[in-house]
Amino acid sequence: MEYSKLIAARYSVRAYRPDPVEDEKLQLILEAARLAPTAANRQPIQLVVMRTAGREAEIGRIYGRPWFVQAPLVIAICAISSQAWVRESDRFNARIIDAAIVADHLILAAANLGLGTCWIAAFDVQAARSVLCLPDEVEPVIFTPLGYPADSPGPKIRKPLAELVRYEHW
């Protein structure tokens, strides 16, 4: 899909068909995530792909909305703080930015293939840690279901550019 069409077409999918995601499509989506830039190319991100079939109750502990486990796959985007670039001047750690870019690559690649996703930050961190068996140093940052949409996009409600952009100074 042409890029401007793709970013307009992507939306938060909150209902999924049970149809499986083809493995070739999953690999293309994961490859898009792999190619995401990270600060100083540290690549402090790990992805956990979970198949929901038969694990709905367990994975549903991470995020309680029924549509979360309606999708055949759920992907966790995780960060390892100690591997991320840190800005010298104020010790700012770039892991969350890195994770967000990886997530965005993955999500846009999915939309390009007709697949639905939804950024999920409002998950239960303790449940996520336990369901994914995360080691202490691994931080879950964003989850998304991945599957074919069973809903349709609503209107895109966004600030007009005039309320978003300043030129030359604040």
Ligand X SMILES: Cc1cc2nc3c(=O)[nH]c(=O)nc-3n(C[C@H](O)[C@H](O)[C@H](O)COP(=O)(O)O)c2cc1C
Least CB distance to ligand X at residue 81 (A): 18
Return the structure tokens found at 164: 């978003």
Least CB distance to ligand X at residue 14 (A): 6
> Nearer Cβ to ligand X, position 37 or 153?
153
Per-residue b or e along 39-51, where b marks 16 or more CB atoms closer than 10 Å to that residue's CB: beeebbbbbbebe
Least CB distance to ligand X at residue 122 (A): 3
Quick one: which of 77, 84, 78, 68 has its CA closest to 106? 77
When asked if residue 11 is in the footprint of ligand X (CB under 6 A), the reply is yes
Binding to ligand X (CB under 6 A) within 53-92 occurs at none
Among residues 12, 81, 83, 93, which is the contact residue for ligand X, using CB under 6 A?
12
Contact in structure between 142 and 33 (CB atoms under 8 Å) = no
The amino acid at residue 90 is D
> Nearer Cβ to ligand X, position 135 or 155?
155
Cβ neighbours for 117, distance < 8 A, ≥ 6 positions apart:
10, 12, 13, 106, 107, 110, 111, 144, 145, 146
Binding to ligand X (CB under 6 A) within 106-145 occurs at 118-122
Least CB distance to ligand X at residue 106 (A): 13
When asked if residue 8 is in the footprint of ligand X (CB under 6 A), the reply is no
> Nearer Cβ to ligand X, position 45 or 118?
118
# chain residues binding ligand X, by CB under 6 A = 8
Q: How many CA atoms lie within 13 A of 100 on its CB side?
A: 6
Return the structure tokens found at 93: 């750690």
> Nearer Cβ to ligand X, position 97 or 113?
97
Q: Which spans of this chain sit near ligand X (rule: CB under 6 A)?
A: 11-12, 118-122, 156
